Structure 1
Amino acid sequence: MNTAELFADDPAIPYQAHSETSRRAAEAIAPMAHTKRGLVLSHLLLCGEHGATDEEMQARIPMPANTQRPRRIELLKMGLIKASGRTRLTRSGEGATVWVAV
């Protein structure tokens, strides 16, 4: 399956309904979302069973949190990734979900 097929049924880009700036940001990123989603998915595929937390993905891709996290949520809704059932500590010492490609 190629990338175009993988993301053919592009979900709507989420935004905070109460925020005009969030809506504008969602509209601005819509043409690039499939590419950014592909970067997140590719990274998780390369990570294998080790997976990655959101913070790790943001650092290694690199991608801002407000771009990476929505792409990860879209991939989760598409059934292409899942929570591994494990956590790793973030820089702040909190546990974070480790995500893996399905």
Structure 2
Amino acid sequence: GLERAGHDGLIADRETLAEWLETLVEMGSGWNDAVLFAESWRRAREGGDPAEVAALAEALAGSRERHAEAMLQGAAFLKAAGAWPNSVLERLPAECAYCV
């Protein structure tokens, strides 16, 4: 992620950060996250089933580490978001990947 890119010297200033983010969103995992987030948002607003998007998000994790990261971030988000009751959260699976 961002920390590793900085450590490896890929990001040294505003310009290299912008280039790194552009690549992430256009060709990397940021693209998947953006698409999944947008579809989750659409379904939340229209009353659709977010569980299908959650299953797709979990399936798109390209490695064991990415899967663990997505699921742990999803669990942390659901725990934090639970402080504000919302019917959408009730429609999500108990274990949900981040960005859904």
TM-score range, shorter chain: 0.3 to 0.5
Tell me which protein shows more helix as a share of its residues: 2
Normalized against structure 1, the TM-score is what? Answer: 0.34
Structure number with bigger Rg: 2
Tell me which protein shows more strand as a share of its residues: 1
Normalized against structure 2, the TM-score is what? Answer: 0.34
